[in-house]
Structure 1
Amino acid sequence: MKGWLGVGILLAAIAAFWMMFARSGVELAQMDQKISAAVNAGDPDYVVPALKDERETLEGQRILNGIILTLVSAGLIGILFSVYVLPTIADRISQGIFGSGAPAEPDPMHDARVLIGQGDFEGAIEVFRAIAEQRPDDRVPWMEMAKLQREELHEPMEAIATLHSALLHQKWSQDDEAFFQFRIAEIFEESLGDRGRAALALKKVIEKFPDSRHAGNARHKLQEWGMS
């Protein structure tokens, strides 16, 4: 929705500057006619110098309007390119590198990326949530939801709640479960400044996977914080 609002504002600006640009062209033509008429008449009223000054002012305004019109148009093209063209090009490139001769399967993440490009983060989260239901073994949609909640919506507690929901959603592999706990600890520590609850998440990794490299990383982080 925010992306379409930006496009609408740019279109309105382009229309306004285009009208000013066109009108200034008409005014310049009329001014040239006045100057020609005065010169042909011998300039009895000595108005030619003033008319030329006025023409220079009009020409300067027209050049400025043309520059602004070019910049605004470039901005609109940039938004449309990044939201619609670039994702398509990226998909085509990835298909060319990794694809086979068989038709490529649709990327379920594509719709979410388009919504993110348009600034509709809530809509993107709902798409990722649906993907998480369809692909229960994939941690990526859960991480993307939490990332949007933390970084774009500035709701770190919602991000933590999403990661807790992921942990309860199913039984994950050791790597995935530890990954979720480390992200929870990271949000508590970096976004909320709560090392106490961050430490609790790390201690869960140590308790559940005591001999793993994840436990070693958790112990190292707790030692850095002086909470080992």
Structure 2
Amino acid sequence: MHVICALANSYTTPLYIRLATEPQTKNQYAAPLQDIFFIGNREDVCSPGMQTAYDLALWLLGGHFIILGTRAILSDGTQYVCEHIVVIMLAHTVFMCCAQISTTLPASGGIEECLQANPSGVQTWPWYGMSFITQSFAGGRACADMIYSGHMSNMVILVMCGADTYRTDQSRAVHWLVSFALSVVAAVCIVLCQDHYTVDVVLGVGIAILLCTNSPLRRLARAWGAANYAAECAVLGILGYDVKKE
């Protein structure tokens, strides 16, 4: 996922900077598109704490899913929730990057914000590239990776796959309530800070739901999970444990 995103960003960001600075296309790309929820100047509306808030919301949901996934594996090895989320996130990353590189949109923060986020230029990005994993500490940031919001889509995937770890006799009410609150905070902060257009957030939510409810992806994850479980049982059998393979 990191490699796919890094390759897409290494194409999109230099292209956007060129389009936003060349005289022929500057008027079309230098300024953001109109968005009804972009209120006031970005510097006045968005505080550093708001950007930290939506990053923290994503990492909290990620940590929560790790706990739920680990609990599911330990309680029932036949559950395939971990395989399911890996399959979904890989498909999501490929789809998102295809959308990103096929159509270049003006960055929601504008060209000046992009250049400020890359003070050394995009040509000096580290050898391992720039993705959602590395841009927090690599001294630069990808620009114009607009459609769609990876923050929101990943959050929805974590929420829905996390809900799958609960058994039918367990209540998911707290999980949905806390997840909804974190997702709303993230969506509001992302748009108010003009780090994404509103349509990016809406599409991120919708696409994530479609991926999580996609039957072929679920069947692929189930087959992979069954293969993993059979392999684990075989290894445990060799080690002398009496394991009933389902």
User: Normalising TM by the smaller chain, what interval?
Assistant: under 0.3
**Whose radius of gyration is greater, 1 or 2?**
1
Q: Could you tell me the TM-score, scaled by structure 2's length? A: 0.21
Q: Could you tell me the TM-score, scaled by structure 1's length? A: 0.23
Report the structure, 1 or 2, having the larger helix content: 1
